[in-house]
Structures are given as C-alpha cells and as structure tokens.
A and B are shown apart, each in its own frame.
Chain A
Amino acid sequence: MNAALGWIQLALFLGLVLLITKPLGLYLVQVLDSRGRTWLDPLLGPIERLTYRLCGVDPHREQSWKGYTVSMLIFSLFTMLVTYTLLRLQGMLPLNPQGFSSVADHLAFNTAASFTTNTNWQSYSGESTMSYLSQMVALASQNFFSAAVGIAIAAALVRGIARHSAQTIGNFWTDLVRTIYYLLLPICVVFAVFLISQGMIQNFKGYDAAALTEKETVQVPKTDASGAQVKDAKGNTVMVSQVVDTQTIPEGPMASQVAIKMLGTNGGGFTNANAAHPFENPTPFSNLIQLLSIFAIPSALTYYLGRMVKSSGHGWSVWAAMAILFVGAFLVCWHYEAAGNPILTQLGVDPADGNMEGKEVRFGVFNSALFATVTTDASCGAVNSMHDSFTPLGGLIPLFNIELGEVVFGGVGAGLYGMLVFVIVAVFIAGLMVGRTPEYLGKKIQSFEVKMSMLVLLVLAMDILGFTAWASVSDWGKAGLNNNGPHGFSEMLYAYSSVTGNNGSAFAGLTASTYWYDTTLAIGMLIGRFLMIIPIMAIAGSLAAKKLVPAGPGSFPVSGGTFTFLLIGTVLLVGALNFLPALTLGPVVEHFLMWSGKLF
C-alpha cells in the first residue's frame, strides 16, 4: 500500500468527475429538451420520431405534474410485470444454455421490484440462477428504464423550479425516450466495448469446462435421491469427499449489461460477486472508468440544474456540497480499512496490508474503500469488495451514506431530486433563522413544499428503521444472519437501508432469499422509490405554478460558501438525528468490542 499513490488516485478521480460535469451537463440540456439538438440527431432522429408515431405520443405536448406522475407509475408497473413474467417463465424461454429453471415467486417478485426501482438488490446469484435471456431482457431492460425514469423525474423537478406561473412540467414519454436514445445507449456502446478490451466477457455460448491442473478433494454435504441433505443420528450434516477436476467457467453477454448497470447507477451484478468478480471488473483501469460512470450523470445533472435555473453558481454550489461530503466520508472509510483488524494483527497478519478480507489484490484497500464510498454516495450498489467484511467504522460509511438519502451525487436523477429536497429544507431553516419567509430562486417556499419535503425524509427513516426493528425481533429475521453480535444487527440495518435507498449493495452474508426477507425487502424498495417520487413531483407542480418574486436584499443567496455549508449541515443533521441511535447499536459498538478483542 502506498498512501501517496492513493492521494494521487483520489485527485485523479475527482478531477475527472469535475472535468466531465460541464460538457455532459450541457449535453443533458439538449437531451432533456423535446426540441434539443445533438450531434446524434442524423442517426437517432428518425428512430425517435418513429417511436413517437408508433405509440401515438405528441413529443411536444406537455403534461401536468399529475399526468406526468401517472404516466411514470403506469410505465413502471407495466415493465415490472413484464420482468416478473419473464423470470417466472424462464425455464420455458430460449437463450438458457445452462437449463436454469424458472425463478421462484417470492424471488421473482423481489427481483422485479428490485430492478424496477433502480435498486438492483440481488437475492439471487446471477451465474447459477439467471439465463442469458433473463439477464439481457428481464433485468437489463429495467437497468435502462429505471435509470431513464430517475433522470426524467429530476428533469421534471428542475423544470418546476425553473418555470413560473406554469401548469406543465414536461412530457414523460419524451423524457424517457430521449434519455435512453441520446444519453444512455450511445455512452453504453462505447463503454461496453472498452470493458471488453479490459477482459470482460460478451458472448452467447454455454459455460466452459476447464480441466483443472491439480485435482482437488473437497468435503460436501451428502444428499439423498431427492436432493435433501442427509443428517446423522445427532442431527449433524453428513459430509462426503468429492473430487473436483473441472472448473466451470461462466460465460454470457456481460459487458453490454455491466455498462448500463454502472452508468444507470443500477448496480445489479451479472455474477454474485458483482464488480469484485475478475470478469466483471478485470483491471484497475476498468475499475476507475466504472467509478467514473457512476458519478458521471449525477454530477452533470448539477450543471443541468444551474443552467436551467440560470444560476450556474447554484449548480456548482450543490456540486461542491456533494464533493465535500464525498471526500470526507471516503477519508474515514479509507483510514479504517487501511488500519486493518487488530484481532487479526494479533494472530500474526501483517498490519501494513490493512483489511484484505473480502477485497481483491488488484484493487487493494484504497480502491475498495473508494468504490464502497462512491457506490453508496450514489444509489449504485455495485460492489468491488464485500462490505460485510469491512472493519466496523469502514463499513459504517457505506451504511451512513445510504441513510443520508444517497444525495452525494446520488443515483441518476434520484441524487439530484433527493438533494433538492434537502435544499428546500435548508432554505426553510435559513428562513427560520433570520425570521423571513423562505425563498428559493425567487419563489416563496411555503408550508406545502416543506410538508412534502418532510414526507420524503420521514418515509426514508420510517421505511428503514421500521423494517429493521421488525426483522430484529422476528425469527425469520434472525435466521438469515451470517454474523452474531452487533454485526448481525448491522446486516439487517444495512439490508433495509439499502433497499429503501434503492442502493442494492449488501452486507451480503445475510441470507435474504427467503419468503419473508424477499417480500419485506421488495416492499421496502417500492416504498423507497415511489413514495418519495410522488411528493417530489407534487413539489415540482407546486413550484412551477408559483409566481416569481423579485430578489431583494433579504433574499437568501443559494450560491456560494454559506449556502454550501448550510446544505452540508442540513444533510448531516437530518441523517444523524434519524440514524445515530441505530448506528450506535451496530457498527459503533462493534468497533469498541473489536478493539477489546471480543469475538462472536
């Protein structure tokens, strides 16, 4: 490990994010305008117009916030049903060279909810459950759709802020189609080919069988004719020796799916190990570009915001708040992962190496901590190391990032609209402090907007804490744990935080593919997505209809250092008030127990 190289990589990464923010933001302005012009028009324009004609949509006819929301909900519900149906019928459908059977009902419901809500929580193991058709159509389609829906909602909210005395906030269908055609697809094609150049697979052949150089004898549970495990008289599982002489090498159309999984901050892995898998993230270079692709669109959306409200200072102030929260959290995570686990140091493990349990050599501690921070700042949820095996405080960072609402750059669209809720709360607090009616970009923030914002924040806290509390007093909850003691509680807290935040990463030791977990987690995801979007759309509609008040000397400026500082403070304060008690019971107490050498 080399700290200096770490700092250089951090600077390089943040520099690259900064570099693409403006050009991609300017591109977004064109994409999210039904009359926008891009250099891809000659190629994609005809396809776009044909699409509108086939579905009978007038691309320039705008909708009210209610019409926009209804279109979005119906589209999401419809595509969720398509995904669910495809998974349930997997066994009968083509492109299934491994002959995987159909997906069980609770798992299919969980997975369909998971991909529709941009969560991509994985209760299943990709390489042993999903056929190529399921990966490519049932799941990858939602990677595009849910990402585009997120961006569309953000665009609608920004329009609501930018307009005044207006009844409409855009056309959902136009935003959906243009985002996919002009933004997601072109970047994905280039990105996917780059990933193949680094070693990622993209094929349609069956799994390969490699004859092992050294045969291996392993102990496996003995099973009877029906496939059930045989127990001896004492109830212990009977083990038998088995010679392993081949390694089954998974194949499939991975690169096309991983590109959109990262760019759309979906995060659902082609394989169980996600971006830790050598096929799914072959080199440190592929790792850097994958990281960049998570932050690219969320970061550019801040510039889009500034451009649309004609105050690029406001966009950059929001960006700065995000960047500061990102760097701060990352440094904590890096520090604790590099410090390693004192219990293992005592056993003779070299403390200079840091905590390598659940991490890959090619990424090491630095890139694992960076990926964990980025994937949870955004609502991506792809992982290149196992968060469950992080040190207690190293693992607290991804957990806390999710609980802040994933507003640090955040998911595509979701990050910006989440952060704008905090902006409204921040402006409200500032108004209270100076005793004036709060204003935001020339509009009065009144009780309706504040109530809707609080609704979003309350849904976040109650969805996470309510379900965690239920699971931790239920037998089905405790049955799924992989770790005892406070870390077991952290596994449950992480799971419900992850699904509510539509993140999808996990303390993956938790066995969640059970009836109760699958179902409660899926409900958590749907609440976390749609019960947040609806109040946000209501804010968009309300703001769009407001009249403009000219800025006066008493108006609170929403650009500059004071605003950035106030915004950071609001995010941290709300997060801390909601979640510190739960975090204390999990990672914090585990940290002190680890240093006193206590094992569970």
Chain B
Amino acid sequence: MNILKEIKTSAVVTLILLAICCGLYPVVVWGAGQLLFPQKANGSLVLDDAGKPIASTLLGQAFTADKYFSPRPSAAGTGYDSTSSAGSNYGATSQALHDAVQQRVADYRKANGLSDSQPVPADAVEASGSGLDPHISLKNAALQLPRVAKARNLSEDDLKKLVDLYTDGRDFGILGEPGVNVVKLNLALDGKYK
C-alpha cells in the first residue's frame, strides 16, 4: 500500500467530485428551478407597485395593530428577524417560558375581549420553531376575527370569507395541519396582496 498514491488519488477524486457535486449539480437545479418555478425559487416575494419586495409569503412578519391578525410569538432575533431564525428552546419546566406564556395569555384575552376562563389556542402564545411561522391555527384566527372586523369596519361574514381564502388546508386532505397564512391575509386586507 502506497500512502502517497492514496493521497494523490484522494486529491484527484475530490477535485472531480467537487466539480460535479458542487458545481454542475447546483447549477442544473438552479436552471431547472428558475425555468419551472421562478417565483418560488426566488423566495416567493410579494412586490409593491414599484416592484420592490414587501414580504415573502412564506416568512412571517410582526403585526401588532388591532386591524391586523396577530402572528405567533417569535423567538427569531428581536422577533421575526429572518436573518436569525430560531425557536425559544425553553424546556417544559422553564420559569422564563412560564412567565412569557402567562403574559401572552393575559394580553391575548384582553386584546380579543375573551373571558378569563376561555382557553387560549396554544399556537397564539407559544413561539414557533423557526420564529418565522407564517401560519396561525384556524381556532386562533376565529378568535381574532371579531377584533379585526371591528377595527376595519368590516362585517364578520365578509372577513371570514377572506380568512378562508388564505387558509392553507391539509395537503391532499391528509398531510399536516391547516393554517391561516397571516402574511398573505394581512397584506390582502391592506390591498397589497391579491
């Protein structure tokens, strides 16, 4: 066995494989993606009238005003910072988690005029895994609906139709859980997303 020969073989094999796996392969995928699904391959961006990006339909944003549906709590940076996606990573017995959830439950009930005995949807007060979850649960959206309708002077029925429009159901009716895409919905309410 010749160690030097093995090293030389390693070097040549590595060079060839680098060219194929790290050069050719990503470029082929890039070409196919840009050709077949250009919108998605470039980040599912929503553009304003001037052609400037205002959101990605896949990445959540912070909305706090009453006239918007509130997204989930976010642990990404200072909240919905998409350069530092992250969950809170608090364990089940964490005091910090307990205190944060306690505060969020109180805030959520107050904002939406709920009684103190009304259970609050978990997704409304527990932070998402990425900190960028664009969805909220259907239950969460239904509880926020009267508040948003009032702030916007819309009938609840009309608003319900819009919520349904931006609800992503289970894939094939089986996979995953349904959710309302709050980014699309809030931008649509402002007439910025069609």
Contacts and interface: CB of A to CB of B under 8 A. Distances in A.
Interface of A: 1, 5, 8-9, 12, 47, 51, 54-57, 66-67, 70-71, 74-75, 78-79, 82, 125, 127-128, 136-137, 140-141, 144-145, 173, 176-177, 180-181, 185, 188-189, 192-193, 196-205, 207-214, 216, 218-220, 242, 244, 247-251, 253, 255-257, 259-260, 271-273, 276-279, 282-285, 287-288, 340-341, 343-344, 347-364, 366-368, 383-386, 388-392, 395, 482-487, 490, 507-509, 590, 593-594, 598-600
A249 B88 contact: no
Nearest to A391: B92
Interface string B169-186: 011101111010000001
Interface of B: 1, 3, 5-14, 16-18, 20-22, 25-26, 28-30, 32-34, 36-37, 40-46, 48, 52-56, 58-65, 68, 72, 76, 78-95, 97-98, 101-102, 105, 109, 116, 118-123, 125-137, 139, 168, 170-172, 174-177, 179, 186-187, 190, 192
B18 A256 contact: no
Contacts of B105: 347-349
A210 B53 contact: yes
Contacts of A198: 40
A358 B85 CA distance: 12
Contact of B17 (A180, A256, A350, A364): A180
A199 to B, nearest CB: 5
Contact of B128 (A47, A219, A260, A360): A360
11 contacts: A56-B5, A75-B10, A197-B40, A199-B44, A201-B42, A213-B186, A214-B65, A276-B128, A278-B59, A361-B72, A383-B129
Contacts of A185: 20-21, 25
Contacts of A66: 1
Given A196-B36, A278-B59, A350-B122, A343 B93 contact: yes
| Residue among B60, B90, B127 with the highest chain A CB neighbour number at 10 A | B90
B42 A205 contact: yes
A213 B185 CA distance: 12
A260 B53 CA distance: 30
Contact of B53 (A208, A278, A360): A208
| Residue among B32, B40, B85 with the highest chain A CB neighbour number at 10 A | B85
Contacts of B133: 278, 360-362
B137 A353 contact: yes
A504 B51 CA distance: 40
A210 B174 CA distance: 34
A356 B125 CA distance: 9
A485 B97 CA distance: 14
| Residue among A140, A213, A244, A352 with the highest chain B CB neighbour number at 10 A | A213
Contacts of A340: 122
| Residue among B36, B54, B126 with the highest chain A CB neighbour number at 10 A | B126
A432 B90 CA distance: 47
A277 B59 CA distance: 8
A54 B12 contact: yes
Nearest to B37: A196
B10 A347 contact: no
| Residue among A202, A285, A343 with the highest chain B CB neighbour number at 10 A | A202
B93 A600 contact: yes
A250 to B, nearest CB: 6
Contacts of B10: 74-75, 78-79
Contacts of B3: 70, 74
A283 B59 contact: no
Contact of A284 (B134, B176, B186): B176
A74 B6 contact: yes
Contacts of B127: 357-358
Nearest to A55: B12
B14 A78 contact: yes
B7 to A, nearest CB: 6
Given A75-B13, A205-B42, 15 more contacts: A78-B10, A78-B11, A196-B29, A199-B40, A203-B33, A213-B187, A253-B30, A255-B33, A273-B130, A284-B170, A287-B175, A344-B126, A358-B127, A367-B177, A487-B93
A288 B10 CA distance: 36
Contacts of A213: 54-55, 61, 63, 186-187, 190, 192
| Residue among A256, A391, A485, A507 with the highest chain B CB neighbour number at 10 A | A256
A25 B23 CA distance: 29
Instruction: Identify the 9 closest CB pairs spanning chains A and B, nearest first.
Output: A284-B176, A509-B89, A276-B129, A353-B122, A364-B177, A487-B91, A386-B87, A273-B85, A350-B119
A8 B171 CA distance: 13
